[in-house]
Structures are given as C-alpha cells and as structure tokens.
Amino acid sequence: MDRLRVLIPAAGLGSRAGLPYPKTLFPFHGSPILHRLLAVLGTYDTTPTVVVSTQGEPLIRESLQQAALDAHLVLQPEPRGMGDAVLRFEQSPTADSTQHILLAWGDLASLQPSTVSSLVEAHFCADNDFTFATRMVDNAYTTVLRDQAGRVISVAETREQGVNDPKPGERDIGLFVFRKQPVFGTLQLDQPGSVGEATGEHGFLYVIEHLVRSGYRIEALKIATELDLISLNALSDLQ
C-alpha cells in the first residue's frame, strides 16, 4: 500500500482570472504554478495525480512533457465543484493502493516546502484522519470554527454565508492531508451542505464538520506563512 500520494485539482479554466489557458499554467517567477507545485510536492510523490478539465488537458499535458515532468492526468469533464474534483482521484492508477492523500489546490503559487513537511509530519505523528494548514488573516474568506477547547468544529465559506466583507479570522490555505477512506466515504454521500447554495457545486470543506461529528481525529495547524497564502483567483492576487 502507498502510504501517501499527492492530488492536485487543476481543472480551473482561468476565465475568471482573464486567462485563455488553465490558471495553474500561469507563470509565477518564471515557472508555471503547476511546475512549482510539482517541485515542492515531489518529495512525497514523483508522479502525482492532477485533475484537469477537458479543455485544459492537452495544454497541461504539453506543458508537463516540455518540462519532463510526470503526472497522472484525470479528467473532470464538467466544473461540478471541488468535492467532485477530489473524487476524480478514483480514476488515478494509484487510487486503489493509496491510504492517505496530500491535497493541494492547483493555484497555490508560492507553497513553501517547510509548511508541507510540517503538515505531513504532524499528520502522521498524531495519527490524524484529517489535518490542514491555516493562518490568521485580516480577510478570512474561509473561517475555521473551534470549540472552547480549541478543537476544530468546521470550516465555513463566506460566499456560502452571503458575507461580502470578510472579517479577520483563521482560514485554511488549500493544503490538506487526510486518510482517503473516511473522506471519500463522506464525499460520496448526499450530506447536508455538500452542495453550495451560492455556487450549486459539490464542495469539499463541508466534510470537516461531518468527520468531526463522526468522531474522526481532525487537526488544524496554524503553520502557514504569508507566502503560502499567494494563490491565483485574479491576476492582481499575484502582483
């Protein structure tokens, strides 16, 4: 069995950022974001699984071939949300043998190796079921909710709450390590909150609350740096 494999959802078309190609291929400091991610995550998986759109697949495949980078590309034919994208890992040739998944959003332009290593080490040392990196920020577009003892309860998305002016708080950065079986089992069920009212898409962060309620071990670590927060939604994000 493979203890840990890497999954990168990169099916974003780049249209919201005004790009004519997948945003994961946007060059950041001279290298496409996806190439940078593969370099950082290659310590854990030399052939990660990358989820791509039908339109973006040939562009991403060509970019990886030109750079002599290996990855298993799996299709998400329709933009049905991040939960749907994560489940596409089941199409990967590594899926059946995988116990834990290191998941990183495909637009993390400046993910730091030290953050990844700290997260992975903590996950396995504590024998967690789900571990993710967070940071306190001025505008928390996702908000980690904790109980009085500091234990994670859930992660809320401001756009699903109708919040147009995010407040300071603790947010995730799009970097997670989790045990595949309970997370995929939750994603495959028709759970409350699985489909966002604002987006109509199958989400991902809602699984945290369901895992907590089912008694799984969840931990959020405030280890992310300012550089880890850099991601591409609009071109101004990278300026």
What's the pLDDT score for residue 129? Answer: 98
- At residue 119, does pLDDT exceed 60? yes
The pLDDT of 38-52, averaged and rounded, is: 97
* Secondary structure of residue 109 in the 3-state scheme: coil
pTM for the structure as a whole = 0.94
d(CA 34, CA 64): 9
* Ranges in the chain annotated CATH 3.90.550.10: 1-108, 112-117+129-173+181-229
Task: State the pLDDT confidence band at 233, using cuts at 50, 70 and 90.
Answer: low
What's the pLDDT score for residue 198? Answer: 73
* Burial class (CB within 10 angstroms; exposed 0-12, middle 13-18, buried 19+) of 6: buried
* Secondary structure of residue 37 in the 3-state scheme: helix
d(CA 11, CA 29): 22
CATH of domain 1-108: 3.90.550.10
Q: What pLDDT digit, counting tens, does each position of 181-219 carry?
A: 999 999 999 888 888 877 788 999 999 999 999 999 999
Q: What pLDDT digit, counting tens, does each position of 158-182 carry?
A: 765 555 677 899 999 999 999 999 9
Q: What pLDDT digit, counting tens, does each position of 137-157 carry?
A: 999 989 999 999 999 999 998
Comparing CA positions, the residue from 78, 7, 76, 80 lying closest to residue 47 is 7
CATH of domain 112-117+129-173+181-229: 3.90.550.10
Query: Do residues 17 and 26 touch, judged by C-beta distance below 8 A?
Result: yes
Gyration radius of the chain over CA positions: 17
